Chains A and B, each alone.
Chain A
């Protein structure tokens, strides 16, 4: 059972446009929601993260919007650049017996055309 559902699977955006990737979860015990960026052949790297007591977090061109009641969160990439072309994963952290482990979405492959 997929704990975190991510969409779309792939996304093509023109340079300068806005890229939006969405994630949804069911487990209300999740307490930390990171986004990771992965380039081909490399390990993922943390891009930005948010806790559920905050509705929005912005770092440069990257913004997480969080809707606790809907159990959804999204990544917005403003002024998308060709260098942003990568695979993006959302994730959620469990608590209790699964302390610290992350549940990942299946990823979104973003292509930004110049």
Chain B
């Protein structure tokens, strides 16, 4: 099956800890994205990457870091600098911009809770 996998599904973090959320896709997509979802806030973009070894900050990048060493993988690290990390995190990917309808596919999400 082609798609996006995120792990773990649930993650608990103690204050002061860094945690890494995994995102893998086998769709051969160039672009990958990380969103944060909070109730009533919609989907807010954290980071995105359009090619390997390159990524850009989104609207709420503070306290987060990413890497893109492989086309299929885009892990997100939530650092201790992120003061309110409890949220639902979604990874997404899409094909190149040249297509008229380049659908953005989403993974199943990781729910992070700070204890």
**A residues near B, CB below 8 A?**
6, 9, 32, 34, 36, 41-46, 49, 51, 89, 99-102, 104-107
Known: A46-B105, A102-B45. 13 other contacts (CB 8 A): A41-B111, A42-B108, A44-B90, A46-B104, A49-B101, A51-B100, A51-B101, A99-B50, A100-B31, A100-B97, A101-B45, A104-B43, A107-B40
Q: Is the CB of A44 within 8 A of B42?
A: no
24 A-B pairs with CB atoms under 8 Å apart are A6-B42, A9-B40, A32-B100, A34-B103, A41-B111, A43-B90, A43-B92, A43-B106, A43-B108, A44-B90, A46-B104, A49-B103, A100-B31, A100-B50, A100-B94, A100-B102, A101-B33, A101-B45, A104-B35, A105-B42, A106-B40, A106-B41, A107-B40, A107-B42
Specify which of B43, B94, B97 is in contact with A44 (CB 8 Å cutoff): B43
Q: Do residues B109 and A42 form an inter-chain contact, with CB atoms below 8 A? A: yes
Q: Are B103 and A101 in contact (CB under 8 A)?
A: no
The verdict on A43 contacting B109 (CB below 8 Å), with A100-B97, A101-B48 known, is yes
Determine which of B42, B94, B111 lies in contact with A89 in the assembled complex, contact meaning CB atoms within 8 Å: B42
B contact face: mostly helix, strand, loop, or mixed: strand
Residues of B near any A CB (own CB < 8 A): 4, 31, 33, 35, 40-45, 48, 50, 58, 90, 92, 94, 96-97, 100-109, 111
Alpha-carbon gap, A107 to B19, bound state (A): 28
Q: Are A34 and B43 in contact (CB under 8 A)?
A: no
Do A104 and B50 have beta carbons less than 8 Å apart? Answer: no
Residues from chain B with a CB closer than 8 A to the CB of A104 are 35, 42-44
Question: 8 smallest A-B Cβ distances: which pairs?
Answer: A43-B106, A106-B42, A104-B43, A104-B42, A100-B97, A46-B103, A44-B106, A99-B97
Look across to chain A and name the residue whose beta carbon is closest to the beta carbon of B104.
Answer: A102
